[in-house]
Structure 1
Amino acid sequence: MTRHIAIGNGQLLVNLDSNSYIRDIYYPYVGQYNHVGGQLCRFGIWIDGQFSWLDNPAWHKESRYADSTLVAITEAVHSSLGIRLVIYDGVHQREPILLRTVEVFNEWDNEREVRLFFHQDLSIGESEVGDTAAFLPENGSLFHYKRNFYFMFNGWSDSGGIAQYSIGIKRFGGAQGTWVDAEDGHLMGNPISQGSVDSTAGLTTLVPAKASAKLAYWMSVGQNLQSVQSLDAYVRENRPEKLLRRAAVYWEGWATKVKHNYGGMSERAIRLFRHSLLTIRTQTDIRGAITAANDSDILQYNRDHYSYVWPRDGAMIALAVSDAGYPELVEPFFVFCAEGLSPEGYLHHKYNPDGTVGSSWHPYLSEGAPQLPIQIDETGLVLHAFWKLYEQHGDIAFAQSLYKPLVVRAAKFLASYLDPETGLPSPCYDLWEERHGIYTYSVSAVHAGLMAASNFCRLFGNEERANRFLEVADNVKAAILKHLWDEEEGRFIRGLYRSGGAWVKDMTLESSIYGIAAFGVLPTTDPRVDKTMRAISEGLLVRTHVGGIARYYNDYYFQRTGNLNEAPGNPWIICTLWVADWKIESATSLEELEAASKTIEWVADHALKTGMLPEQLDPFSGSPLSVTPLTWSHATYVATCMKYINKYKELTSTSSRPQQETSMVGKG
């Protein structure tokens, strides 16, 4: 489940795998709808009577992004064919257009005819039912459509446009698809088909001996035939290679607009920092949805996906992006959350990118009793992140616009959702969505949300309401210290759960207990935080050559071994970086900071060559597990880098400050 390349602009997102095959096309929202759904949109070559798709093992391929851009470069070499391809892929920075150029290098001593074949396997609106694919002679293109979704495909070489094409039935009645038709180098030319359909287009060029030739392929997306024709004409008029260069310039300017002193970070780590910001950009819809991940291969496991907005993920991503200096990217997220609040003032489990409530497995009824199917940290963290956005950038008009519809409504709910027995926030599902109870991470997030609400109320002159929210926050903090600290173990516990009519301590060692410090319940310097984080860093350490920190002890999700001494769970990027955050915040010298920064380099070591970060890693091979890329992984890396940058600045400033005089000789 890996997407090596993600390219997008906030309304169109396209994912490619290591073979340069398109695997996902999301439009008109990032994450909604997926018009490919993980199928293979193949790319192949015919030369000297031989045909090869790029997933053939004979190809040696390497992909990367042009530095600080969202233009991907793939080099593919087929030694026995004497061919090298350099493929550039990007999405226009403004319009819903996918751009691809291919330079074909002929390594042999004779001129050769080369035919490139591009296969389109769409399931428009996430269904193969009722699609139409047709050839349009007016501009020599292929287009697929259903309802108000239109996709137009075209190409160019020095020999002209699309030289041959075929349209037909796929995965129905024994038909595999038109890609099979391409394997003899000739396409049948059927001009239209409807139902479960696909299409293949062929481009032809002559490549001189020991020289190269360039070809281009592009896709335009819109709501009707006229709109995609207009975009197609725009590409033909401006040339795909020129548009790709413009896109690269735009994204480089965006990724580097905020200047940082990166201290001792390596060039590789700095590149990953910028690439993480760009990856977050691809996963963020211009209307506010910050999606968790858009790798549709996860569908193979539970017939659902990660293409949702979890308010918790979104809040933490927004917090990191804001801290890095890009508030304009995440401000719409808070509008999205305000519009998604329930009438009672809480945020639901997750949302579709269009703002509707997403699927859930949290029940409204448990053991005969009704319950709210929520994760309370999601509501609290949105308020926390919103206050941090204001603190960092001071847009008081934007803060005022969401004060009542978001802050006050959500804070009133948080202040009312309390367990009368413990004084803690009432039971809910934990941040991993696996268990129901009262959890340290969740209640710490509620404390942070109430503090944020109090600050906003004071900012806008409502002292009475500010004091009321502050009082509830103080009471929650006192309850946390009373019920969630375990003196015998000398650390905070994961949480409490109900059993036999009584509260039982959940003593499982859990990385997210770090929330006690991350959300300001206690400072990092507090001895209780120090003891807890030492227990996490030692007890959840993956003791293979891969390293990293597990999510919690005996984590079952994609579990690779029952040897918990060796691997208490798989290493998670997020959880490993939480331990790094604690080390960075605790550092009192550059030497201590250097030790903490090793985790930043560890993350860079375990990113894909394209810079993508997964949710978790195989503890033995280090290969990605679950979805890749995970937006929260990239955001946590950005957040940790910013903590490192700020602490480096603080420590270097302190170390260079002249020592004050300790005596006043001659005074008086």
Structure 2
Amino acid sequence: MTIRSVLLSNGRLCVTFDETGTMRELFFPVVGLLNHVCHGEGTGVFLWSGKWAPLFREKDEVTARYERGMVVTWKRAVSKSLPFDLVQDAVDPYVPVWVRSFVVSDFSGDITVFFRHRYAIGETTVGECAAWSPEEKRLYHYKGSIWIAHSLILEPDAASESTCSLGELEVHGVAAKVRDGGVRFLPDAPRVLGNPVDHGYVESAIGVSGSLRGPVRLNYVAALGSNKEDADRALDEGLVLGFSGISARTRHYWKRYLLPRGFLWKVLPGEPGTGAAREDCPTGGRPFAEANAASVKRTRADEGGPGTSGTELPRDAGTGESDEMWAATTRRTKGFEPPACLENLEYLYNSSLLIASAHWSENGAIVASCDDDIMTDYRDHYRYVWPRDAAMVANALLKCGITHVARMYLKFAAECIHERGFFWQRYRPDGTRGSGWHPWFQQPGSLPIQADETALTLMTAGLYLDATGDLDTLQSLYSSLIRPAAEFLCSYRHPDGQVVLASYDLWEERLGSFAFTQAATAAGLWSAAKISRALGIRGTGILAEAALDLLEGLVNNFSRNNQGIFRSPGELVDDASLFLIPVVLGESGLAEHERRGSGRLWKTLVETRSRVGRALFTGGGMARYSGDWYWRQENFNYPGNPWIITTVWYLQAGMVLGVLRPEDVLARYMSSPVLPAAAGADTAHETQEGEDVSQATDRLRGIELVSTDGQYSRRRHEENPELPVELRWFTSVASPSGAFPEQVHPGTLKPLSVMPLAWSHGCFLDLVNSLR
């Protein structure tokens, strides 16, 4: 599979790049709807240095890292023989403009660079036109209501005082039919042949040639619009701002949401409970908060400023000026730096926030993944809005302070919801019904839907109320979304009210009444009741009563013989969706109500987490369920591939249920922040001497081999130690740019299926926020 390392988006324009920096997807004006490029085919940057050579090669070592915003830097992306030191990409937060900037430091001499394009505007190669405008020095591709304008400009490097102008270089462009061989790079001269205009399935190139003297930036700018005038206006702004202006705007936009440097170090509790101090940690073995406070006081005293009496700087758990002041103070402290392992965790949090946000479109759609590579096998993709994924991503971003994503998603959901109050399996990003695999005709009384998608969307509305208090928005959505969804869930139960009617499970694979669907329905109804009370709507007590009936039914109908809860009545299958039950109950507020009662459900959920965790632990993470077939690897005796989301849920459930303390999770990570250097299954399972991978898995699950008359059987230990599911697993399965896949190989931890997956990033944000 071709890994997508980077997504950059502003809600209208979204571009993705693979590991070599090649653009793979281009979406406009709706993120995820139509991919306007041919999967990187024919695109690239080519330079003349005696012969034509591509800027990016598959064999080159390329590392992409997000900056503080929709900006990415490609390091070691070019050969030392080429003039560019590094390459940077940025998307403006307000205007549909993408700029790729090439930094030239020490080079001085003649240069020829061409940027070649092969688009498929509207996701088809039919009827496109490419034209070069020599007066404007702009290259256009257009079809219907999609126009793409390109140009090049030189920009002084911010680190130097040199001046330059585009007049020093000649800019030219050509177009040609792919049928005729496309644009042609002459092998013995720095020239490209083509036509000033061409149509059909076309290819184009825009380039510069002439004398170049560093330090300077060469900026390639592409802007999109619904017509030539709109595209030109956006391109004008991009050329005026340059890379420096656009990157400054995006950094300023995202500054309020991203964690400042050293933030996680600052909020660590004073008594972590476990984990030995590392030699390179600046605490010297003291409690974290104590060492932190001491260092801040010492710094202020050394500088002679306020605080010489021992008063420390304000260190509230937010992302305001006090956090930035604290981070700046730690940088000035001699010998004091936040541990690198926590900086890695902060980077993953920030990149996850950017990547999850990049899947959101201005119309409120949140697609599961923009990765088109899976189309090679399935001729379909993940560029759909599953209300399940979208609601959980919106919830995660809501907790990060990004409230507009949840608000717009709820408006999108109000447009999509069926008149009876439920959602179909998935939707296209424009709100139309998407393809699916659930048979239309089901058993009497059931529908080909996932009831949990309706419930989770109601939870989003409840969390939005908690986070914003925005009654005006919720009032405007009440009759179109909240009331019909709540009424449907309230009616979609068996006559006794204690079990939900049949719908598809969280994994979209089987029809029945499932424990997670039941818990999510209860949480959704509880959220709807809370919203109704806040809006002063009478007669909504029936919603809260229905939620409590479902909680009672969860214990009465889904649990068995002190073994905890199972996936469905009469089906003894261990399923990771059971980890999510305490999480949704906690977020909706139902957990507090249940704990004030008998607490019977809470005790049952602790038993459930222990049993399911031991059954699904594999590759250092958690599989979806026993016998999972999706992307299953041959010759592996495992329950299934470990997924990012299920591994997060295992840790989250432990913290919600009180089995795990957040400070213990962080302390264990700090004591050993990375997996051993060796790759493979032995690394994932940390085999001991003389063990193979299967034996290591059994040991960590608490299973032992027992011999009876020469026959061996596997028996579970009565002891129930906490499984070694660690934060370091997440840092090991993420790409260098911070992208998470859907799932990983249980032996090598290599990514499988799509990458990145918005759901994976949303769940990781939830995990780190739980630690905070």
Tell whether the structures are fold-level matches, with TM greater than 0.5.
Answer: yes
1:34 & 1:463 partners in 2: Cα distance? 47
Partner of 2:719: none
Give, in angstroms, the shift of residue 145 of structure 1. Answer: 0.7
Gaps of 5+ in 2: 155-164, 270-340, 670-724
- In structure 1, the partner of 2:101 is 101
> Is 1:375 the counterpart of 2:450 in the alignment?
yes
2:573 aligned to which of 503, 508, 512: 508
Query: For 2:459 and 2:256, how far apart are their aligned partners in 1?
Result: 30
Moved more, 33-42 or 427-436: 33-42
| Native 8 Å contact 2:184 2:193 kept in 1 | no
Alignment match, 2:25: 24
Distance in 2 (alpha carbons) for counterparts of 1:19 and 1:437: 45
Kept after mapping to 1: 8 A contact 2:105/2:215 = yes
Question: Is residue 233 of structure 1 aligned with residue 236 of structure 2?
Answer: yes
Greater displacement, 624-633 / 511-520: 511-520
Pairs within 5 Å for 1:261-660: 262-263=267-268, 266-366=342-442, 371-420=446-495, 423-464=498-539, 466-487=540-561, 490-496=563-569, 505-520=570-585, 526-542=602-618, 544=619, 547-564=620-637, 567-585=638-656, 586-587=658-659, 592-594=664-666, 599-645=726-772
Question: Does the 8 Å CA contact 2:388/2:453 hold for their aligned counterparts?
Answer: yes
Cα offsets for 1:145-177 (capped at 9, x unmatched): 11111011111245646633331122x4xx553
Q: Distance in 1 between matches of 2:434 and 2:260?
A: 35
Please state how far the C-alpha of 1:603 moved relative to its aligned partner: 1.3
Deviation track 1:549-585 (CA, whole Å, cap 9, x = no partner) reads 1111221111123433xx3211111000001102222
Matched, 1:193 2:198: yes
Distance 1:29 1:341, change over 3 A: same
Change (3 A) 1:182 1:493: farther
Helix, strand or coil at the partner of 2:28: strand
- State the TM-score, normalized to the length of structure 2: 0.75
Select between 388-397 and 21-30 the one with higher mean Cα deviation: 388-397
Distance 1:180 1:531, change over 3 A: farther
TM-superposed CA distance for 1:409, in Å, is 0.8
Q: Name the CA shift for 1:58/1:402 in 2 (closer, same or farther; >3 Å).
A: closer
Asked if 2 retains the 8 angstrom alpha-carbon contact of 1:376 and 1:446, the reply is yes
User: Which deviates the most, 146-155 or 602-611?
Assistant: 602-611
Shift of 1:234: 2.4
Report the identity percentage: 28
Distance 1:458 1:596 in 2: 43
**Per-residue deviation at 1:182?**
8.1
Residue equivalent to 1:666: none
Per mean C-alpha deviation after superposition, the further-off stretch among 576-585 and 77-86 is 77-86
Residue type matched to 1:579 in 2? Y
Please tell me whether residue 62 in structure 1 is matched to residue 59 in structure 2: no
Contact 1:115/1:203, CA 8 A, preserved across alignment: yes
1:577 counterpart SS class: helix
Query: Which stretches in structure 1 are left out of the alignment for 5+ residues?
Result: 497-504, 646-668
Tell me by how many angstroms 1:84 deviates: 4.4
SS at match of 2:62: strand
Whole-angstrom distance in 2 between the partners of 1:323 and 1:154: 40
CA 1:180/1:511 → structure 2, altered by over 3 Å: closer, same or farther? Answer: farther
Q: 1:18 to 1:262 in 2, by over 3 A?
A: farther
How far apart, CA to CA, are the structure 2 residues paired with 1:263 and 1:572? 27
Which secondary structure does the structure 2 equivalent of 1:506 belong to?
A: coil
Q: Secondary structure at the match of 1:163?
A: strand
Q: 1:387 to 1:238 in 2, by over 3 A?
A: closer
Query: Which residue number in structure 2 is paired with residue 661 of structure 1?
Result: none
CA distance in structure 1 between the aligned counterparts of 2:572 and 2:186, rounded to whole angstroms:
60
Q: Distance in 1 between matches of 2:477 and 2:12?
A: 24
Q: In structure 1, what is the Cα distance between the partners aligned to 2:641 and 2:349?
A: 23
Write the deviation string for residues 175-196 of structure 1: whole angstroms up to 9, x where unpaired: 5533766896421141111111
Q: Following the alignment from structure 2 to structure 1, what is the Cα–Cα distance between the partners of residues 218 and 37?
A: 24
Q: Deviations over 1:385-416 (max 9, x none)?
A: 21122123222222222222211111111111
Task: Give the SS at the match of 1:296.
Answer: coil
* 1:143–1:434 distance in 2 versus 1, CA, 3 Å: same
Secondary structure at the counterpart of residue 495 of structure 1: coil
Q: What SS is found at the alignment partner of 2:374?
A: helix
Give the Cα–Cα distance (whole angstroms) in 2 for the partners of residues 232 and 78 of structure 1: 27
2:206 maps to amino acid? A
- Partner residue, 2:708: none
What is the CA deviation profile of residues 493-548 of structure 1, one whole-angstrom value per residue up to 9, with x for unaligned ones?
Answer: 1125xxxxxxxx33221111123212227669822111111122221111x4xx11
Structure-2 residue corresponding to 1:14: 15
Shift of 1:97: 0.7
Structure 1 counterpart of 2:489, one-letter code: L
Amino acid aligned to 1:26: F
Alpha-carbon offset, residue 353 of structure 1: 1.5
Higher mean alpha-carbon deviation, 282-291 vs 240-249, is at 240-249
C-alpha RMSD over aligned residues = 2.7
Equivalences for 1:19-98 in 2 at 5 Å? 19-40=20-41, 42-57=43-58, 59-66=60-67, 68-76=68-76, 78-79=78-79, 81=81, 83-98=83-98
Q: TM-score, normalised by structure 1?
A: 0.87
Mapped pair 1:167 → 2:242: no
Matches within 5 A, 1:130-169: 130-157=127-154, 160=167, 163-169=171-177
Preserved CA contact (<8 Å) 1:140 1:162: no
| 1:229-253 deviation per Cα after TM superposition (whole angstroms, max 9, x unaligned) | 2222223333343333333333334
Cα distance change on mapping 1:519 and 1:252 into 2, 3 Å? closer
Between 179-188 and 432-441, the greater mean CA deviation after superposition: 179-188
SS state at 2:220 partner: strand
Q: Which amino acid aligns with 1:3?
A: R
The alpha-carbon distance between structure 1 residues 452 and 510, as it changes in their structure 2 partners (threshold 3 A), is same
Give the aligned residue type for 1:412.
E
* Aligned residue pair count: 620
Whichever residue aligns with residue 53 of structure 1, its letter is P
Q: Distance in 2 between matches of 1:472 and 1:30?
A: 38
Q: Is the 8 A contact 2:631 2:753 kept in 1?
A: yes
Q: Is the 8 A contact 1:42 1:53 kept in 2?
A: no
Question: Could you tell me how far apart the structure 1 residues matched to 2:86 and 2:478 are?
Answer: 51
CA contact (8 A) 1:4 1:612 kept: yes
The equivalent of 2:331 in structure 1 is none
Give secondary structure in 1 for the equivalent of 2:130: strand
For 1:468, give the aligned amino acid: I
- Tell me, in whole angstroms, the C-alpha distance in 2 between the residues paired with 1:195 and 1:588: 61
User: How far apart, in 2, do the equivalents of 1:370 and 1:472 lie?
Assistant: 19
* Range that drifts further, 588-597 or 24-33: 588-597
**CA separation in 1, counterparts of 2:469 and 2:668?**
31
